[in-house]
Amino acid sequence: MKLTTAGESHGKGLFAILEGIPAGLRLDPGAIDAALARRQSGYGRGARQKLEQDRAEILSGVRDLVTLGSPIALAVWNRDYENWKDCMAPEGCDRSLRRLTRVRPGHADLAGMQKFGTDDARNILERASARETAARVAAGEVCRALLGELGISVTGYVRSVGRVCDEESYSFREIASSRRPLLGMMKEEKEREAAARIEEAKREGDTLGGVAELRVWGLKSGFGSCMTYGEKLDARIAAALLSVQAVKGVEVGLGFALASAKGSEAHDEIFAEKGSYVRRTNRAGGIEGGMSNGEELVLRAAMKPIPTLMKGLSTVDTQSGKPALAAAERSDVCAVTACETVLESVLCYVLAEAVTERLGGDTVRQLKERYERL
């Protein structure tokens, strides 16, 4: 399976080409659009989310809402392009318009300018922007539909915003059914507190990050491998989650807490019950030795605060070489809710890739039959 995305933040649109989805998978465009709407939701988002109102258009690989086995092409068109085509049109434009040289600390601006030999950070930020994830969400929802055919479900919630953290433990069913709409948190009082912190950051011209927790239910054992490092499921998941803009850390199971635990407190003891093996704890988060072990997958990803601050951080203007305040592109105060949605979609892609890689098959029917035999 292979996913390629293209497009700029203020270009014509965002595009995804997804290869390797077997034939016979029925898609629901409404479910894809609902995920795109979730990606635009969350307290603390900027004004652009109201302008775009993302929808996905299926361009190829599907007939009568059923996949053909050929590459699937998806488009999420940018409504804001009409306001930017004078400086972004690929057919020809005025490159001097909206030029950016007051590079933002924590963003791709300066490193990208140096790498690609440009004197305008616009060439970098348009692609480095988290707007790119709209294409990944659209493609990830196709992968979610494929996983659903096998009885594999993915959900998640916002565990923390800034220093407001929910330390409670929740079941998969609770998360899937009770996630709150404002920020995607589980507790109303925590969500109110987090919203207040977001308002405070907004008044100060600042931004906030947070932590999202992801869960996977129904994945059988044996996906991934201990034989080569590139096949390890936890490594592949971590790489995918870290590829999401602003994500700086990933935990599997108890994660970093295991470093301070004793061995007797860190591992999941194994028992035989009714002819099968069971674990009464899940500290490993469903992955042992780089392979799924049949338990629920538990993952967390830490998102740093967005680097575009309205008050601007100290930087250098690369045109003049003089000290300056970083440019303030239109941005969000907090996008952890959106990030959680993106992370779910990215995780769906990695799992679909691992499943199809192991089981093969040209059709969804073949894939289901092989999964059921495991």
Total residues belonging to the chain: 374
Please report the pLDDT score of residue 362 as a whole number: 97
- Mean pLDDT to the nearest integer, 155-179: 97
Question: The tokens of 169 are what?
Answer: 């433990």
Phi and psi of 119, rounded to 5°? -105, 10
The answer for residues whose C-beta is within 8 angstroms of residue 117's C-beta and 6 or more apart is: none
CB 193 within 8 A of CB 133: no
CB 101 within 8 A of CB 319: yes
Question: The tokens of 345 are what?
Answer: 């979609």
Q: In this structure, what DSSP letter does residue 317 have?
A: B
Please report the pLDDT score of residue 312 as a whole number: 85
Please report the pLDDT score of residue 277 as a whole number: 92
CA distance 219 to 238: 17
pLDDT higher than 80, residue 50: no
Question: The tokens of 328 are what?
Answer: 């303030």
Q: In this structure, what DSSP letter does residue 95 have?
A: T
pLDDT in tens, 115-164: 999 999 999 999 999 999 999 999 999 999 999 999 999 999 999 999 99
Please report the pLDDT score of residue 52 as a whole number: 63
pLDDT higher than 60, residue 231: yes
Please report the pLDDT score of residue 308 as a whole number: 87
CA distance 5 to 8: 10
Strand partners, 90: none
Residue whose structure tokens are 């916002």: 158
pLDDT higher than 80, residue 294: yes
* CA distance readout (Å), 294 to 107, 123, 153, 211, 218: 38, 45, 13, 25, 8
Question: The tokens of 360 are what?
Answer: 């093969």
Percent of the chain having pLDDT more than 70?
98
pTM: 0.95
pLDDT higher than 90, residue 5: yes
Please report the pLDDT score of residue 311 as a whole number: 86
Q: Which of 166, 157, 156, 155 is nearest to 194 (CA)?
A: 166
Percent of the chain having pLDDT more than 90?
94
Please report the pLDDT score of residue 328 as a whole number: 81
Q: Which of 170, 139, 136, 134 is nearest to 155 (CA)?
A: 170
Give the model's confidence band at 70: pLDDT under 50 very low, under 70 low, under 90 confident, else very high.
very high
Ramachandran quadrant class, 222 (left: phi over 0; alpha: psi -120 to 50; beta: rest): left
Three-class secondary structure of residue 286 per DSSP? coil
Please report the pLDDT score of residue 365 as a whole number: 98
Q: Which of 157, 142, 212 is nearest to 356 (CA)?
A: 142
Q: Which helix (H) or strand (E) holds 24?
A: none
CA distance 147 to 345: 11
Residue 71 burial (CB < 10 Å; 0-12/13-18/19+)? middle
Please report the pLDDT score of residue 51 as a whole number: 60
Q: Are strands 287-288 and 270-273 parallel, antiparallel or unpaired?
A: unpaired
Q: In this structure, what DSSP letter does residue 153 have?
A: E
pLDDT in tens, 196-224: 999 999 999 999 999 999 999 999 999 99
* CA distance readout (Å), 153 to 16, 156, 166, 220: 23, 10, 23, 12
pLDDT in tens, 298-348: 999 999 999 988 888 999 999 999 999 998 876 799 999 999 999 999 999
- Mean pLDDT to the nearest integer, 247-258: 97
- Domains of the chain, start order: 2-372 (3.60.150.10)
pLDDT higher than 60, residue 48: no
Considering the chain, what is the average pLDDT of its residues?
A: 95
- Mean pLDDT to the nearest integer, 26-37: 97
Please report the pLDDT score of residue 195 as a whole number: 96
